[in-house]
Structure 1
Amino acid sequence: MDAALLHTVADGVATVVISHPAKRNAMTAAMWRALPEVLDALAADPAVRVLVLTGAGPTFCAGADISSLTGDEEPQALAVAAEEALAAFPKPTLAAIRGFCVGGGSQLAAACDLRFAEEGASFGVTPARLGIVYPASSTRRLAALVGPAVAKYLLFSAELIDAEHALRAGFLNELLPAGQLDKRVADFARVLTTRSQLTQAAAKEFADGRTDRDAYWARQAAASGDTAEGVAAFLERRTPSFGWTASPAGAPASEPGRTTGRRGD
């Protein structure tokens, strides 16, 4: 199968699949370039409430496919642009990881809000094997996620760590037994689709360190009516029907619909 980014939308959950089986789902230059476009389209789709990023088959992503890069392209710039687009996605993102999550794969996983993995997965940040200076933004994101000491351990050594180590280090949110990752991710994503998008969008910005939007989110909360709806639903023992919906700019959008799509290389 050719290298491709596949994506579908079902029941509020967008799933983006990194598919390059011949190279353990290594990202080609075309795939790095395509990812921001795919994410922009999904962010603008009001049917999307949650995004799941995963790999085809038994591997998440083994990094960048160096053989696909030409002399006039800067592989690091392509990877950073894709990483930043993923980090900026305005709705919750979850990496579902099995097998190798190495190099650019770890870069993409770290840019997601949450990371669930299956036992047997391996993680590594490997630029020291090639004499590459890891991007400043990627280094800071990794250090914020696992702490400076663990980030230095990974970057200095370029050694792979197992899933249990990644969980202890804080890289992973959950570690699942073999065969249970897909169900757990599906169940958790379904839960996220029922929660307040207003709460999620504000919490994402606050947790990611943004400090210039406090007043904006206070105004959104006051105008949305979601708090009153949430309290009423709790007292009436029913599922809340929250009205605020997210758009790429963080402002309310229209009510959800549904789309599907595919992006190749």
Structure 2
Amino acid sequence: MSEPTRAEHLRVTRDGAVTVLTIDRPEKRNALTADMWAALPGVLAGLAEDPAVRVLVVTGAGPSFCAGADIGDLLGGPDAEDPMARLRRDNLAAQAALRDFPRPTIAMVRGHCIGGGVELATCCDLRFTDPTGVFGVTPAKVGIVYTPTSTRQLVQLVGPSTARYLLYSGELVDAATALRTGLVDRLLEAGDLAGEVRRFAEVLASRSALTQRAAKEIVAAIGSGGDGETEAARWYRETVASGELAEGVAAFTERRPPRFPWGRTPSSPPSAGPGRDPGRGRGEAPA
């Protein structure tokens, strides 16, 4: 089921526990306008507040993921001394909203993933691509200083040396190179991408949302230089108090799929239960 968002060219599709956010501007290789950057935090906030959204897939319409920011908006700000001020603010807010999204996020990348497209992909928890994937970090081609936030995300994935290679040169790399350097997590065969993303998203939706949320916060804390101990202690208390741990142990002992209670409203049914295999996709795969 598709639904409108607060911005043109951003499309939300829901299918059970998996929600797909599609950048829908294929005639421009899904380049993001200033209005699209500005609207992304609100769209993501609405999805984050919905407990039925267990996994978020971010992708692009047509043969490309996202070719970055629309070049026509780069100098469109009202301040002549800092014409990118508004765009930079909205870009960073969009990155933060995606990076801090409380459930698992997967970037499903076909074709061009350039500049701002890489920023969005690196803010997702995982990145899946196919042989058409082409990746580039291109500020050196237009004289832009890549923000510390975007640089940190890139360095955490590929390391300082590859980050320098990409940032200094602006050269495009293929999907095999992206996999080898850690820029993407999975490289699927042609034609398998959507089906495997859907299958894996269903697996994630069947697991403990509390465990996933805890892992997300602990990994972020460690990536920021902390030890994650405070976050781990808080989430451990929650897994006991909420009954999540008890349900997981009971399900394992009884050899049945777990019905994890955490994070569900009374009206939202479990995403996995008896008679349903969470590893098998159901319905149309994300496109």
Contact 1:53 1:96 (8 Å CA) reproduced: yes
Structure 1 Cα separation of the partners of residues 91 and 250 of structure 2: 45
Q: Which runs of no fewer than 5 residues in structure 1 stay unpaired?
A: 246-252, 259-265
Structure 1 residues 22 and 148, CA gap change in structure 2 (3 angstroms) = same
Q: 2:36 aligned with 1:24, yes or no? A: no
Q: Structure 2 vs 1, CA of residues 36 and 256 (structure 1 numbering), >3 Å: closer, same or farther?
A: farther
User: Corresponding residue for 1:92?
Assistant: 104
1:6 to 8, 11, 34: 11
Stretch moving more, 101-110 or 213-222: 213-222
Q: Which residue of 2 aligns with 1:53?
A: 58
CA contact (8 A) 2:26 2:63 kept: no
User: In structure 1, which of residues 180, 202, 206 is the aligned counterpart of residue 192 of structure 2?
Assistant: 180
The 5 A counterparts of 1:143-182 are 143-182=155-194
**Take 1:101 and 1:137, find their aligned partners in 2: how far apart are those partners?**
18
Q: Does 1:119 pair with 2:131?
A: yes
Whole-Å separation in 1 of the counterparts to 2:232 and 2:175: 36
Residues 46 and 255 in structure 1, CA contact (< 8 A), matched pair in contact too: no
2:262 corresponds in structure 1 to 244
CA distance in 2, matches of 1:44, 1:11: 16
Alpha-carbon separation, structure 2, partners of 1:54 and 1:43: 17
| Corresponding position of 2:39 | 34
- Whole-angstrom distance in 1 between the partners of 2:181 and 2:211: 27
CA 1:158–1:13 in 2, change beyond 3 Å: closer, same or farther? same
The question of whether the paired residues in 2 share the 8 Å contact of 1:122 and 1:163 is answered with yes
Q: Which residue of 2 aligns with 1:131?
A: 143
For the residue of structure 2 that corresponds to 1:241, the secondary structure is: coil
Q: What SS class does the counterpart of residue 208 from structure 1 fall into?
A: helix
CA contact (8 A) 1:46 1:256 kept: no
Partner residue in 1 for 2:81? none
Decide whether the 8 Å contact of 1:3 with 1:28 is kept in 2.
no
Aligned-partner Cα distance in 2 for 1:168–1:125: 16
Shift of 1:221: 1.6
Superposed displacement of residue 21, structure 1: 1.6
User: TM-score, normalized by length of structure 1?
Assistant: 0.90
Percent identity (aligned)? 53
Identify the match of residue 200 of structure 1 among 212, 218, 221. Answer: 212
Residue in 2 aligned with 1:248? none
Q: Matched residues in 1 for 2:193 and 2:237: separation?
A: 38
Structure 2: 5+ residue stretches without partners? 1-6, 79-84, 223-227, 270-287
**Cα deviation 1:62-97 (Å, max 9, x = unaligned):** 001122452326322221111111001000000000
**CA-atom RMSD in angstroms:** 1.6
TM-score normalised to structure 2 length: 0.83
Higher relative contact order (CA 8 A, sep 6+): 1
